[in-house]
Amino acid sequence: MIQVYLYCEGITDYEPICIFMRKANRLSEFVVTRKTRKDLREEITLLSGRRGIHKHVTDIDRLAMTAKKAKCMHIAYHQDADGNDTDVYESITKKFAKYADTCACIAIVPKEMIESWLLADEHAYGAVFGSKPERFPKYPEELWGRKEDPDSNYPKNVMKRILKQYNKALNRNIYIDIAEHSNLDTLKAHCPKSFVRFYNDMQGFALTRITTKR
């Protein structure tokens, strides 16, 4: 049993990420606790009495400190790429480096956002809604466009249009159902950059056992 503290950007991202973590490593059982920015800032009260230090502390620092207080040795940090997944991923892993001796860390950075991974397997939609969608993207990681334009290739907008074929709207339960029915090999084939990176990182993340005294 591996306890994980997960910082997650959006409320609809949390459950799919937990599902994808389980799919990416079925040999390990994860108990994941979501931590929001508000949670982290409230829990790290020691900063309030140290003048100026809070200006230099990131949410990654707060996540690591919160985990240390709870003796949780595995932390995960999710952030949408929003146009540049390599820079976002490298920025997170660089900040994780100073905690390598005290906890196992994983950066979860979909290219470009969780909807991109949820647009990887058209058969998942068939399983959830009874039929495959008429129009479906071939390369979900390459989708991008203006958020404000409902006809753009912004991943969330693409997903809205696909769900409209079923007279459905975006909601938390649909995200869960699609993630549960998404095939791991299909995810890896259709999201060869960010999901494969996540899959590979998960293998080391699950195997890491921190023995350093905390």
Calculate helix-pair angle for 59-69, 85-96, nearest 10 degrees: 40
Indicate the burial class of 117 (C-beta count within 10 angstroms; 0-12, 13-18, 19 or more). buried
DSSP string, 78-89: E---TT-HHHHH
**pLDDT in the model for residue 84:** 86
Topology given in CATH for the domain delimited by 2-111+193-207:
Rossmann fold (3.40.50)
DSSP string, 88-121: HHHHHHHHHGGGTTT-EEEEE--SS-HHHHHTS-
Note the pLDDT tens digit of each residue in 18-51: 999 999 998 889 999 999 988 988 887 655 455 4
User: Where do you find CATH 3.40.50 in the chain?
Assistant: 2-111+193-207
Indicate the burial class of 178 (C-beta count within 10 angstroms; 0-12, 13-18, 19 or more). buried
Mean pLDDT rounded to a whole number for the chain: 91
Instruction: Mean pLDDT check: name the lowest of 79-88, 96-105, 152-161, 202-211.
Output: 202-211
Which region, left, alpha or beta, applies to residue 27 given φ > 0 means left and ψ of -120 to 50 means alpha?
alpha
Mean pLDDT, residues 150-155 taken together? 97
Which token pair is 114?
Answer: 């969780």
- Tell which wins on pLDDT, 37 or 150: 150
Residues 162 and 124: their CA atoms lie apart, in Å, by 12
Indicate the burial class of 87 (C-beta count within 10 angstroms; 0-12, 13-18, 19 or more). exposed
Closest among 158, 156, 154 to 144, alpha carbons compared: 154
Q: Long-range pairs for 89-94 at CB < 8 Å and ≥24 separation?
A: 89/197, 92/60
Mean pLDDT, residues 159-188 taken together? 97
Percent of the chain's residues with pLDDT above 90: 79
Alpha helices in 97-193 (DSSP H): 114-118, 122-129, 155-164, 172-181, 184-190
pLDDT at 52 over 50: no
Q: What is the pTM of this model?
A: 0.91
Q: Which amino acid is at 172?
A: R
Mean pLDDT, residues 140-161 taken together? 97
Confidence of residue 210 (pLDDT cuts 50, 70, 90): low
Decide: 114 and 13 in contact? Cβ < 8 Å: yes
**pLDDT in the model for residue 51:** 46
**pLDDT in the model for residue 214:** 40
Mean pLDDT, residues 129-158 taken together? 96
